Every structure is written in structure tokens, then in C-alpha cells.
Amino acid sequence: MAKLFLVRHGKSQWNHLGLWTGWTDVSLNEEGVGEAKKAGDLLRDEKIDLAFVSKLKRAKETLDEIRDRMLHKDFNITESEALNERNYGIFTGKNKWEIKKEVGEEEFRKMRRSWDHKIPEGETLKDVYERVVPFYSQSILPRLKEGKNILVSAHGNSLRALVKFIDKIPDDKIGDLEIGTGEIFCYDIDKE
């Protein structure tokens, strides 16, 4: 049986400011580095065979901090844009809480958490799912079926899409799933 560890990156500079980050390539802040180190401490004794990470530096910095704290550091890392965060389109770089005041609670929740509510010039969670799940099915799942333990360092929405797939969460329930910065999801995966 293989293990799959999904880790959301630690808090970034823009998370701290309440800004929609999306594809903007910002670093972890001090708190985020601490969250990544804590994740590394929790995973310290695990034997990881392969790691996958998005192309964005906050996910890569998180993986670096995790790896630094692990006893078994000898694993290959593959970067992929498929694991990048959701593109927030016209809201990228804008303050979430100011946008919430402008559009109202209901519209704000739809924009942030719904399955297929479009942000102009951006992506829906469904769009993210349609790039994350094929990547998982083609690049990660075969390795898990071989018995390899895998660590994925990515983002709130790319991981929400993957958890939706793995846990078979219905479209109308995915809005309830929140993955905190530095949070780890762990799955045991068998050959089936």
C-alpha cells in the first residue's frame, strides 16, 4: 500500500494581505515558512519516493522546507503547471474582503468556493479540476499503484480539485471543503 500526502503551501505574502494570488508568483511569509516547517516535522519519518509540485514558488518553498526536515530526503521532484493555483482573472491582486463588500456575501461565496462559477478572465474550480485530474491520473496514480509514496505540494484550489476527485465529493458539496495553509491530507492507496 502506498501513501499520498497532499500539502497546501504555507501562508504567502499575499495570503497575509488578503489578496487573491492565483498565478502571481509570490513567496511564503515568515508564518508560512513556519507552517511548512511544521508540515515537515509531521512528515519527518515518512519515506517519500517522489514529489510533485506546482511551478509557483510558494509551493516550491514549502516543499523545500518540508524536505529539509525529513529524515529521508532522497526523492525526485517533478514540477507541473497542472498543479498551479486557480487563475483569479480580474480579481488577481485585489483584496478579497473589499471585493466581498462590493459584490455581497452570496456572490462572494460563489466566486471563491463554487464548482463552476466563472470569474471574468479566470478559471472555475471545474477548470482547475480538468487540468489537475488528468495529470494525477497519468503521472501520479500509476506511481502510487506501483507502491510509491508520493508528496504533492500545491495550492488550495488545485488540491480541492484533487480531493474532490479522490473523495468523490459532489459538485454541490465542494464549496464546504477548505484546506488551510500548511495543512496535510494523507491517503492510503492500494492497487485498486
**What is the three-class DSSP state of 147?**
coil
Quote the cell numbers at residue 175.
464549496
CB under 8 A, 24+ apart: contacts of 44-47? 44/69, 44/70, 44/71, 45/71, 46/3, 46/5, 46/70, 46/72, 46/149, 46/151, 47/72, 47/149
- Which residues are CB-neighbours of 105 under 8 A, at least 6 positions away? none
Quote the cell numbers at residue 7.
500539502
CA separation for the pair 92, 84 (Å, rounded): 14
The set of catalytic residues is: 9, 85
The per-residue DSSP string of 87-125 comes to P-GGGTTSBHHHHHHHH-HHHHHHHHH-SSPPPTTS--H
CA separation for the pair 48, 71 (Å, rounded): 10
